[in-house]
Amino acid sequence: MGEVSGSPTTLSQDVAVLSVAEVAKRLAVSSTRVHQLVRDGQLLSVRRDGAAAIPADFLDGAAVVKGLPGTITVLRDGGYDDADILRWLFAGDDSLPGPPIAMLRDGRHREVKRRAQVMAF
């Protein structure tokens, strides 16, 4: 997984993560496909104990949380790196009532994406 070798470790240790194999099982895809999802910006990975891991909050059952890939794209296009995006998703934004990842999980992806667009430009 190309991006994983440099994947950020800046995510708080209390954020639950899943191994690539666990994500593959949940999404009913191969581990190779999970690596591709990270490379394509559909998901972000972190390093935990030397291995690639995906924040558990990025999945909603057997799917990627709606709005997450678009939010990642908006922020990357605005010049943010993956570590900054992860920090923002989990730490929050003063203009939102909670962390962006929680809002995405609650179906408020349009509001999160609007805030991401403002930050990016």
Q: How open is the CA angle 117-118-121, to the nearest 5 degrees?
A: 85
* Domain made up of 2-58: CATH architecture: Orthogonal Bundle (1.10)
Please tell me the pTM assigned to this model.
0.87
pLDDT at 121: 67
Helix (H, G, I), strand (E, B) or coil at 8: coil
* Domain extents in the chain: 2-58, 64-120
Q: Tens digits of per-residue pLDDT, 78-93?
A: 999 999 999 999 986 6
Question: Which residue do the tokens 């570590």 mark?
Answer: 83
Output DSSP code: residue 40: T
More confident residue, 14 or 94: 14
